[in-house]
Amino acid sequence: MAPRQRKSAPQAPDITQWLLLIYRVPSDSSRARVAVWRDLKRLGGLYVQQAVCVLPDLADVRNSLAVLRTRIDELGGSSIFLTLRDVDDETRQRFVEGFRANSAKEYSEIIEECDTKFVKEIEFERFRENYTFEEAEEIRQDLEKLRRWLDKVEARDWVDAEGRDEARERVAQCEVLLEEFEADVYERLNAAGAEE
């Protein structure tokens, strides 16, 4: 089977408006603070200071922030939501560079995951001669996790960060390695079955 074709990346929009979220959650609840922080990071939020986050003004982001604001309320917190329309060039550039750095770091982590964990896992299973369907299936699930992670990072990469193409290439290489491993598993299991 040929490696899965990736959809082409959307062009980075010319972001002219920004969403600013200022929030407060109860200080006695680290669970609430972490939950909000995690949700904002998943959205691709850029923290400009503690509990102050900026995002591009895009319809899906705006909708997700509305849901998050409801969650902040449910956690006993409060939030202020502003649309920034007249952002000077220097501030806009700082936002873009911040988003670009965040996405580049995530692409780098995907590349590292491919190189240090995925590839090493297949090498280790070959070394152990662990050619089983179960092992191949487990590694296939790891590949699907990598794909989902890459899809999420690409979805919040609004500024065409460095590393996207390399991350895609590494995930595609992982798929080829897995297909080769699966072919070896198939051959060995069929050879063992023929001997019985």
Domain boundaries, the chain: 18-87, 102-195
Neighbours of 59 (CB within 10 A): 7
Residue of 22, 27, 58 whose CA lies nearest to 40: 22
Structure-derived torsion over alpha carbons of residues 151, 157, 163, 169, reported in degrees to the nearest 10: 20
Burial class (CB in 10 A: 0-12, 13-18, 19+), 153: buried
Mean pLDDT of 17-32: 91
pLDDT tens, position by position, 43-67: 999 999 999 999 999 999 999 999 9
Model pLDDT, residue 58: 92
Residue of 136, 122, 119 whose CA lies nearest to 189: 136
26 and 15 Cβ atoms separated by less than 8 Å: no
> Do the strands 18-24 and 78-84 form a parallel or antiparallel pair, or are they unpaired?
antiparallel
Neighbours of 186 (CB within 10 A): 13
Least confident stretch, 8-12, 21-25, 67-71, 104-108: 8-12
Residue 87 DSSP label: -
CATH class of 18-87: alpha beta
C-alpha distances out from residue 5 to 8, 85, 140, 175, Å: 9, 38, 17, 11
The answer on pLDDT for 12 being more than 70 is: no
Burial class (CB in 10 A: 0-12, 13-18, 19+), 10: exposed
Mean pLDDT of 28-52: 92
Model pLDDT, residue 6: 44
Q: Which residues contact 26 (CB under 8 A, 6 or more apart)?
A: 32, 75, 76, 77
In terms of pLDDT, which residue wins out, 52 or 13? 52
Instruction: Say whether domain 102-195 belongs to CATH 1.20.1250.
Output: no
Structure-derived torsion over alpha carbons of residues 14, 156, 27, 70, reported in degrees to the nearest 10: 80
pLDDT tens, position by position, 114-161: 999 999 999 999 999 999 999 999 999 999 999 999 999 999 999 999
Model pLDDT, residue 4: 45
Residue of 121, 111, 115, 87 whose CA lies nearest to 161: 111
> How does the average pLDDT of the chain come out, rounded?
90
